[in-house]
Amino acid sequence: MKKLIFRILGGIVILIVALFVFVSFTWDKKFDAPMPDLKASKDSAIIARGKYLAFGPAHCATCHVSMDKIAEVDGGAIIPLSGGWELDIPPGTFRAPNLTPDMETGIGKFSDGQIARALRHAVKHDGSMLFPFMPFQEMSDDDVIALISFLRSQPAVKHEMKKTELKFLGKALMAFGVMKPDKPKTTPPKFMVPDTTAAYGSYLANTVANCVGCHTDRDLKTGKFIGKPLAGGFQMPADAFSEGYSFITPNLTPDIETGRIAKWDREQFINRFHSGRVYKTSPMPWGFFSRINDTELKALYAYLTSVQPVEKKIDKSVFLPGEKLPPAN
């Protein structure tokens, strides 16, 4: 009996060692993806559109500034996107890089095509993967060009950022192919003309502002969506920025009983965005979203009130320091 137990234990140890060795030697994958033929422009209107996206609906500045500057930028300051955001979650510690044109520490050494590929296919200049924090894969060619043009127009800031560091879980997800670069599910449009339609609102919610990314329940270990789109329930535990507060995203579908905005009219919806944040450390980038123009807010409202209603009650969305989040679904 003892021999059998030792054999079983020995087999388990061998499996653990084999798993560790396999992950250690196979996680650092390189990926091939096409390089879009999109070129930066010096046209002031195109640069202005890129700036609007970066400090408005696309909220690039939420992550690509140092953490001690986030509140300042959220409040309206315009500063170079020199990197600094850090997020520690089960797969690893993720850090946002310097996006200014500095040749040593920023994007100055990368081609327009390489930057476009990172946005469109989540593949970096060296072939490694960008983790799924940016939903820009189906962003229109014109908006990708606008963003690149704005990034090129910034002053170069020398700011060396530590690289993202994966923990064993993150490396295992890479090794076993669970985590792969996001890529366009459809052919991205050449351009999207801003208007008040639900179709344009869908573009904003799913491709630019990433409403669906936070207002859909997902597994923090793998990043995979596990809930119905826009029905809320995604838990955001306290982190270095939240001052002890934790959050659960509300249901944004038009379910009349459980949808947060189901009984709002369009004016109430627009006014809520313009009024900014209620909770200082809410993960919702209210400062950036308060800059979204009324045309695009009308489009967002049209889209969110047109999606399939989902009955999902979120009893509480804000948890004070010391309060425990309920068990995850």
Query: Over the stretch 238-285, which tens digit does the pLDDT of each residue have?
Result: 877 788 899 999 999 999 999 999 999 999 999 999 998 888 888 899
Task: Pick the closest to residue 184 from 246, 139, 129, 251 (CA basis).
Answer: 139
Give the whole-angstrom CA distance, residue 74 versus residue 279: 13
The whole-angstrom distance between residue 187's C-alpha and the CA centroid of its chain comes to: 21
The full length of the chain comes to: 329
pLDDT of the residue at 2: 66
Locate 298 and state its tokens: 């009308």
Q: Is residue 306 predicted with pLDDT exceeding 70?
A: yes
Q: Give pLDDT tens digits for 164-202.
A: 999 999 899 888 888 888 888 899 999 999 999 999 999
Q: Is residue 143 predicted with pLDDT exceeding 90?
A: yes
Q: How many CB atoms lie within 10 A of CB 6?
A: 10
- Find tokens 């001052």 and name the residue: 243
Q: Is residue 312 predicted with pLDDT exceeding 90?
A: yes
Q: Give pLDDT tens digits for 222-250.
A: 778 899 999 999 999 887 778 889 999 99
Q: Above pLDDT 70, what percent of the chain?
A: 97
Give the whole-angstrom CA distance, residue 299 versus residue 13: 57
Q: What is the mean pLDDT of the chain?
A: 91
Instruction: Tell me the CA end-to-end span of the chain in Å, nearest whole number.
Output: 41
Give the whole-angstrom CA distance, residue 100 versus residue 110: 11
Note whether 26 and 171 are within 8 A (CB): no
pLDDT of the residue at 135: 85
pTM: 0.90
